[in-house]
Amino acid sequence: MFSFFKKRPPAPPPAPEPSAPPTAAPTATGGRLPVAPAAPPAPTTTTTPAAAPSPAAPPQRAGWLERLRAGLRKTGAGIAQVFTGTRIDDTLYEELESALLLADTSLPATEHLLADLKRRVKETKATDPAAVKALLADALAELLAPLQRPLEIGAHAPTVFMVVGVNGAGKTTSIGKLTYHLAQDGQKVLLAAADTFRAAAREQLAAWGDRNRVDIVSQQGGDPAAVSFDAVAAGRARACDVVIADTAGRLPTQAHLMEELKKIRRTIAKAQEGAPHEVLLVIDGNTGQNALAQVQAFDAAVQLTGLIVTKLDGTAKGGVLAAIARWCATQQRPIAVYFIGVGEKLEDLQTFDAREFAQALLQ
């Protein structure tokens, strides 16, 4: 049920050859990936992480869910407090509005939820606050539902992910966890250390690469766009299934760094037509309402396709997912939330499920 990603058969038209690299060629290290023709087309099917085969998956998921619930408990308690009375009146709705705003749900999403809830209460003729709380969970699950979509691989050779976000959001850690699941499934992964400024950043990614026995393309102090280009070209030459570019953390207000990100995206597209297939923004769940501003700014710069929300095990309020969902709906931007992180361990990153999240928030 909770597959880590979805495998698709390859798209029919072959991609053209890459054009010339923009700058000096970065170095590829490791050499563990076989230089072989592409694997036969994968059937359209879903797969569970190898570390958690189907029978074991529910307990692992249950443990993760418990951590998510624990992280969101404070928010949940604040909202639950609204429903402890006996009457459904204006006071209840006013208190609910405050509780949702306090949970970082944003004014547009809060207004949407309240209007939807009142409609549901009218329709069902609910008279008990506990029933109204259940209706709120329904409304929230419906609001979040468009964010729930599996991460697809297999339709391109390779499928290219570009991972972006502010400093310390959890990009490299999330890439490591994702790589683990892909490698366990037998996918050939190549990592691009497009954070070329810090040696520590390359080393951190290299450690994840070693752990998962996958190659890394890196270059000390080089051009991140060149590293990304080279990684995609190498991924094609080596018949890799997935190439993941890890970029340096940056604030959306740092215009020159956002320009660099756009250049990385353009350069990846030169290395493979149609790539990157996924541009993933990693958001620290503790960022609060600023997370929506990050989504908007990074989307404007590099056209996001998906999000990974980390650190929902901490003091995160969680309502920001509703804020993001409402913004995506009004802007008609189909941005998915692929994964939720609740800690630093491998099993702490799991797929997003709208209803489960709504229930965890309104426990």
Ligand X SMILES: Nc1nc2c(ncn2[C@@H]2O[C@H](COP(=O)(O)OP(=O)(O)OP(=O)(O)O)[C@@H](O)[C@H]2O)c(=O)[nH]1
> What minimum distance in Å lies between the beta carbon of 71 and ligand X?
9
Sole binder of ligand X in the list 230, 260, 299, 348 (CB under 6 A): 348
In the complex with ligand X, the residue whose CB is nearer, 139 or 192, is 192
Q: Which of 6, 26, 3, 1 is nearest to 202 (CA)?
A: 26
Token look-up 């503790």 returns 286
Does position 201 interact with ligand X (CB under 6 A)? The reply is yes
Sole binder of ligand X in the list 313, 322, 350, 356 (CB under 6 A): 313
In the complex with ligand X, the residue whose CB is nearer, 83 or 352, is 352
Does position 106 interact with Mg ion (CB under 5 A)? The reply is no
Interface stretch with Mg ion, choices 48-56, 112-120, 122-130, 163-171 (CB under 5 A): 163-171
Does position 247 interact with Mg ion (CB under 5 A)? The reply is no
Q: Quick one: what does residue 344 bind among Mg ion, ligand X, none, with the CB cut-off 5 to 8 Å set by partner type?
A: ligand X
Token pair of 85 as six digits: 């009375």
Sole binder of ligand X in the list 154, 249, 276, 318 (CB under 6 A): 249
In the complex with ligand X, the residue whose CB is nearer, 201 or 358, is 201
Q: Which of 19, 83, 75 is nearest to 286 (CA)?
A: 75
Binders of ligand X among residues 265 to 294 (CB under 6 A) are 282
Interface stretch with Mg ion, choices 62-70, 132-140, 154-162, 164-172 (CB under 5 A): 164-172
Sole binder of ligand X in the list 344, 347, 355, 363 (CB under 6 A): 344
Interface stretch with ligand X, choices 94-102, 139-147, 226-234, 337-345 (CB under 6 A): 337-345
Sole binder of ligand X in the list 341, 350, 351, 354 (CB under 6 A): 341
Binders of ligand X among residues 113 to 172 (CB under 6 A) are 165, 167-172
> What minimum distance in Å lies between the beta carbon of 305 and ligand X?
18
Does position 171 interact with Mg ion (CB under 5 A)? The reply is yes
Parallel/antiparallel/unpaired status of strands 45-47 and 5-7: antiparallel
Does position 133 interact with Mg ion (CB under 5 A)? The reply is no
Residue nearest to Mg ion (CB): 172
> What minimum distance in Å lies between the beta carbon of 220 and ligand X?
16
Sole binder of ligand X in the list 157, 216, 342, 360 (CB under 6 A): 342
- Cα separation of 351 and 363, whole Å? 19
In the complex with Mg ion, the residue whose CB is nearer, 187 or 204, is 204
Token pair of 209 as six digits: 């690469």
- Strand arrangement of the beta sheet that strand 5-7 belongs to: 45-47, 5-7, 152-153
Residues in contact with ligand X by the rule CB under 6 A: 165, 167-173, 195, 201, 249, 282, 310-311, 313-314, 341-344, 348
